[in-house]
Amino acid sequence: MKVFYNGEAEGPVEAFGTVFERGKASEVDDRFKEKVKNNKFFGDKAAAKASERAPSNPEPSVFEARLNTDGKYSIYRGEQELQDGLSKKDAEAFNGMPADEQAEYVNGL
């Protein structure tokens, strides 16, 4: 079965002998899933999408496009997802915009 890691670490994280990357699924056995069943940083895809964790970007007015759990890119304000389904190219273009243009784009959603 696959489990997603939804913690704050930007790089790979090792837990119980398995290496995880944020927002990506890793294959685990039932024993691992039992060990982390109450851990908010691990879960299935639905749990990954709905997880409520402390914002990694405390400034809520700053927008960022980044990879989400679906393998697509989304626009976020802090940890709040505002738009999903972006391609990598669109995400890179959004992140290259000045902050005022990003805000204008988001206000038009």
| Cα separation, 19 vs 10, whole angstroms | 13
Is residue 27 within a helix (H) or strand (E), and if so which, with residue range? strand 25-27
Which pLDDT tens digit goes with each residue over 38-87?
A: 777 777 654 445 444 434 444 555 899 999 887 889 999 888 889 999 99
| Per-residue model confidence (pLDDT) at position 4 | 74
Would 90 be classed as within a structural domain?
Answer: yes
Would 57 be classed as within a structural domain?
Answer: no
Q: Are residues 14 and 46 in the same domain?
A: yes
Q: Are residues 67 and 35 in the same domain?
A: no
Q: Which two tokens stand for residue 95?
A: 């992140």
| Cα separation, 96 vs 38, whole angstroms | 38
From residue 27, how far is each of 2, 4, 8, 39, 41 by CA, in Å? Answer: 4, 9, 20, 17, 15
